[in-house]
Amino acid sequence: MSNNSNPALQGLARLNARYDEQAASIVDFNEKQALGEEPDPAHFMHLLEQRSVTQQAMEAQFKLYEKPLKTVMNETK
């Protein structure tokens, strides 16, 4: 099953890319703070909220992908 033909895996790949972008933004925020800048703490909270929502979406998408696999495995026992 290729990643290109499976919508669940495509969704996971998109969410994973978004999660990585959010992680990079958090690292950037921390680097600015370490350099003595004073980035907006509300922006940091927004980044954490976005990352949390993305992680929840990834977990939900994975469960959608996992459920049919469990069903197939149980039916073949």
Residues in the chain: 77
Q: Quote the pLDDT of residue 27.
A: 97
Distance of CA 13 to the CA centre of its chain: 9
Q: Quote the pLDDT of residue 69.
A: 66
Q: Quote the pLDDT of residue 62.
A: 85
Q: Strand ranges (DSSP E) for the chain?
A: none
pLDDT tens for each residue of 18-65: 999 999 999 999 999 999 999 999 999 999 999 999 999 999 888 887
As a whole number of angstroms, the distance between CA 21 and CA 51 comes to 9
Q: Quote the pLDDT of residue 7.
A: 79
Left, alpha or beta for 39 (phi > 0: left; psi -120 to 50: alpha)?
Answer: beta
User: Do residues 29 and 43 touch, judged by C-beta distance below 8 A?
Assistant: yes
Average pLDDT for residues 68-73, to the nearest whole number? 67
